[in-house]
Structures are given as C-alpha cells and as structure tokens.
Amino acid sequence: MMRIQLLALLLGMVLMGMKFFAYYLTQSNAILSDALESIINVAAGGFALFSIWVSHKPKDLDHPYGHGKIEFISSGFEGALIFIGGIYILYEAVLAFFYPPQVKQLSLGIYLVAISGFINFLMGNYLVKQGKLNHSDAMIADGKHLISDTYSSIGLVVGLILVSLTQLLWLDALIALLMGGVILFTGYKIMRKSLAGLMDEANDEILDQLLPLLHTHRKKEWIDIHNLRVLKYGSNYHIDAHVTLPWYWSLEKAHEEISSIDSMITEKFHNQVELFIHADPCIPSSCSICEISDCLQRKYKFIAPLEWNKERVLKNQKHSHPLGVINLSGV
C-alpha cells in the first residue's frame, strides 16, 4: 500500500504543475480553482502516506489496539483541506464576477486540464479499489478525492469550451463557483465519514456481511447473540459480542464453541478481525427461542428461534420470544 500511495503522491505533484502551467498560460479563474485543489491533493496525499505507514506499525503497550485510528484522522484532515479549498475557490469566483481577468490561450489550457483529469480518474479508481481490498480509509478517501477532482475537470473543460465559443468571460467565474460548491460538498462527506469512525459509529457495511455469515453457520446451541459491536482500527476490525450458550456446559466445551465462531469469522475476513466473544449462560426465558430439543433442563416451551437482525444483536440484553414464555404444563 505504501508504494501505491507514494505513486499517487508523486503523480499528484506532476499534475499540480501541469494545472498551474495551464493557469499561467490562460489566466482563467476556473483553471486556477482546479490548480488550487491540486495543492490540497498533494498535501492530503502526503498525510495519507504518513498515516498508512503509522497504521501498519505493530501493536505496543501504549497502543494495545494498534495505530489504525490515525487513518480516520488522515481522511478527516483531507476532508478539511478540501472544504477550506472550496471556500477559497468560491471567494475567487465571486471576485471574478466584479473583476474579470483577461482569459487567453484557452485551447491549450483545455487540453492540459483534460489530460490531468483523465489521469486523476484512473489513479482515483485504482486507489479506491486498493483501499477497499486493504480496508484503508485513508487510501479510499484519497481515491474518492481524485475522482471528484475528475468530475470537476470535466465540468471545467465543458465550461471553458463554452467560454471559448461565446467569449462570455463571466461563464469562467460561474464554472469556478459551481466547482467550489462541489468541492465543499466532497469535503463535508469525507469529514463526516472520518468523524463517524473516530466516534465508533455502528459499521453497517460489516454488519451486513457478518449477520448472514452467522445465520448460514448457525447451530442450535447458539441460543442468542447480543451486544454485538464492530470497531474499525485502520485495516482491521475489532468485534465484541455476547453469545448465549447452555448454562450446564463445562467451561472447556463453551470455550471450544466460542473458538469455532472465532475461526469462522476470522476466515471470512481474512484474519483482519480481532474477536472478543463473551459466553453467557442461558436463563429460563431463553427456552422460548432455544432449539435444543433434548435439553433436560428446559423450563419453558420452545416457540421459535429469533432472527439475528441489527436491531436485536446490537442491544445489550438476552432475548426471549416476543410472545413471552409458556410453561411446559401449558399454563
């Protein structure tokens, strides 16, 4: 991942130089806005490279969960830079309405912006793909930033062609204004996702993969699952859960069952998951959802198993059937 991010950083520097050269030739505010965003690309790419290096450092006594949280800081930093850049672009665009520059050599500027936009699109998609494969939020954020830069470049090229054809210079400022709005929104979305990770917001993406896996391999002895929590640390996930097992099992047997759940989930997520599973003993009300038909300790009738959906598994409570419990005598 370090090599990929380093390549993206070096490429960003080259593209930044191209865009500022295009601005020097054309004096277009719209091209200036694109060039200024490239400074953000380079700064954010450098910080992303640093954060990926730090996040892959091994756990130590001071960081028992590892260093992965820095990737959220990196993506938040990138989002903040994008947001600030968007504000500055809007400011320059508004000034251009009142003090329009003398735009020139637009044809060459259009070619340079189009080439840089196409390269950004290829690099951005590659970073997002690699970021998802390696579960790197910093790399994904950097890739999405480059893709959004591509969309800005497309709008910029179209707008510059219109300026060239119509000679309406105010269109140049209008394009910069629209681009500034798009960039602001992109920065907001990246910052929002970063804060969600730092605040350990529930990770629906992982839950959507985990719950079907548990259902597919479900055993009748797994009476209930609750207090399920997923935390992300860089490219790794930390999962806590309480699993309700028969109260009369030995500690050794309960440990074996928990280990089998651990192995199943670890295999699915390619060893990028650290599991802490707490074994809970069943209680009488658990009989209503327990499928162990030959249980000699049963107190109440079995009604039906519960579906392990998000609403249920996230709650910190042992479950029973919504219909209540029914004595074996039927009373």
Average confidence score pLDDT of the chain: 79
Residue 236 has pLDDT above 80, yes or no: no
**Mean pLDDT (whole number) for 15-34:** 77
- The residue ranking higher by pLDDT, 330 or 17, is 17
Is residue 271 classed as helix, strand or coil in its secondary structure?
coil
Q: What is the pLDDT of residues 307-327, one digit of tens each?
A: 888 888 888 888 888 887 777
Residue 199 has pLDDT above 70, yes or no: no
**Mean pLDDT (whole number) for 235-254:** 88
Q: One-letter amino acid identity for 313?
A: V
* Residue 273 token pair: 């998951």
Q: What angle is formed at CA 160 by the lines to CA 156 and CA 161, rounded to 5 degrees?
A: 120
Residue 331 has pLDDT above 50, yes or no: no
Q: Which CATH architecture has domain 204-313?
A: 2-Layer Sandwich (3.30)
Residue 67 has pLDDT above 70, yes or no: no
* Residue 26 token pair: 């054309």
Where along the chain do its domains lie?
A: 2-198, 204-313
Q: Which runs of E-coded beta strand occur in the chain?
A: 224-233, 236-245, 273-281
Cβ-in-10-Å burial (0-12, 13-18, 19+) of 322 comes to exposed
- The residue ranking higher by pLDDT, 331 or 240, is 240
How far apart CA 294 and CA 221 sit, in angstroms, is: 11
How far apart CA 331 and CA 325 sit, in angstroms, is: 10
Q: Which CATH architecture has domain 2-198?
A: Up-down Bundle (1.20)
**Residue 194 to residues 43, 111, 184, Cα–Cα distance (Å):** 17, 35, 16
How far apart CA 39 and CA 34 sit, in angstroms, is: 9
**Mean pLDDT (whole number) for 226-237:** 77
Q: What is the pLDDT of residues 247-273, one digit of tens each?
A: 999 999 999 999 988 888 888 777 677
Q: Is 226 left (phi over 0), alpha (psi -120 to 50) or beta?
A: beta
pLDDT for position 1: 63
